[in-house]
Amino acid sequence: MFAIVQTGGKQYKVSENDVISVEKLAANVGDKVNLEVLLVSDNGKVVAGNPVVKGAVCEAEVVSHGKGDKIVVFKYKPKKNERKKQGHRQPFTQLKILSIKK
């Protein structure tokens, strides 16, 4: 059984006991969160929502918070001696999928 869930403007294919990294959520470590279920597949039987599946719940537990790898943003204008260097680390939340119910 797997489901397509949506959080943070992105969609993820999840099964039970999967650990996924999503955009940072305002929840503490150990909290349980419910994710929007867009599609559920159970042994080839597919139920698609419009836009979400009514009655379907994907429960996940917050495992940890962190920051991703650093990326360097470098902007410059040629022949103008104009340079700007920035770094960025995107925050994320790791979730463990506990159950998918339809």
Residue with tokens 């979730």: 95
DSSP string, 65-78: EEE---EEEEEEET
Residue ranges with strand state E in the chain: 2-7, 10-14, 19-23, 32-42, 45-48, 57-67, 71-77, 82-88, 91-101
At 102 the pLDDT is 83
The candidate with the shortest Cα–Cα distance to 16, out of 58, 65, 62, is: 58
Q: What is the mean pLDDT of the segment spanning 48-73?
A: 96
pLDDT number for residue 99:
96
pTM, entire model: 0.85
Point out the least confidently predicted range of 16-30, 41-55, 65-79. Answer: 41-55
Q: 75 falls in which pLDDT band (50, 70, 90)?
A: very high
Question: Which pLDDT score, from 0 to 100, does residue 29 have?
Answer: 97
